[in-house]
Chain A
């Protein structure tokens, strides 16, 4: 049985309850008080000490709300021509997204790890065993989503554990528990896939034709890594959420590099051997 997340960005209100719940439950150190200037997002990005990160996207690139708008009608999903020629798209274009480790099916971080610290646990989640990691940091540039970083004070690397400890006790992860809008859903990957499909159908029926699921190998362009166990429902290009459109498995080319290295070794050997001729 594989468990994972489905993060529905269309209902996220940016309250950051997940960020807080994650920090509290997992006892992750604070990141300090720094103002980023990036909207209301002072967390900025995922890291070894931030396992949930809520992105605040103020999208000026989109239609603006102009004219005399009936906000009640708007909230009730009225999609006809608005008075004063007002145009709108996804409630005034605030976009929030609670980002997290994608728990890739063919996880590049796991393949990179030389100590075997990164494993798939019994819930099929990608898990870093803190008692094994020696902080070589090779998983950091391997991750196609910039999820892992080394925590300098500790020396090791950390990331979302999908609340391994809570799952073992039959509880859902802290972030999913805390989320007030159910933007973060936790469950079996197969179930969540169905939930996601239904939600997309609903969204499309409401006129959000651009809605799609990010994280399935067939649809989201994540085939390079076999898809993600934590998926997202998105309304915008993946890049808007700082996600790669087609993440790839860096290790797919290790065998190729062996071959080219062997050829190069042969050529160099021959070149040097030729120099010995009298």
Chain B
């Protein structure tokens, strides 16, 4: 019993220490950010990398999530004879919750893990040390553009996810179960406000910062072994997912 409590306390302390180191890493990244503005091509390249990597799976998943949401919503709403608000309900759920959260989870699994293993491999093969020896700070040259690329790509990906998902909703709602398209779209337009869209974008940005930071931190500090890279990749996905869900709760509670 005592041992178990000790373990829990110990792992809580470890998590806290990791969190602290991650925040210090974030501080160093942010301190170097102004310099990155001078070399926008590096960042643009990484936006393209992170975005292109995840685009296809985000579009596919968006479509299916939208379609399933429409089926579920129709089933529910037709019982109370208010199918007309399907568009509005689905759009709100997607913009405020499903869009940012699912995009972040997919981003962590696809782009985040790739980022972590890439950086881990660079660490293991002395590439980061070689840069230091060439008087190039790998934090600025390698970690920072990848971090910023992820941060900027996430809101874009979130918007794409939401748009495709709404297309999926109307595919099922209007084309298949024949909800009147006029009321479908007008209900949606009157229900969704600018604030809802902001909420979605803010969440997308915050999740983007969290997921990119975790991926870059884990990869950059990976143990220089095959196992170390594997562990960094796994931790990236797990920690990013958990962080996304917890942050989502906090942000939702604040913005309600």
Is this pair of chains taken from one and the same complex? no
Interface residues of A (CB under 8 A from B): none
Interface residues of B (CB under 8 A from A): none
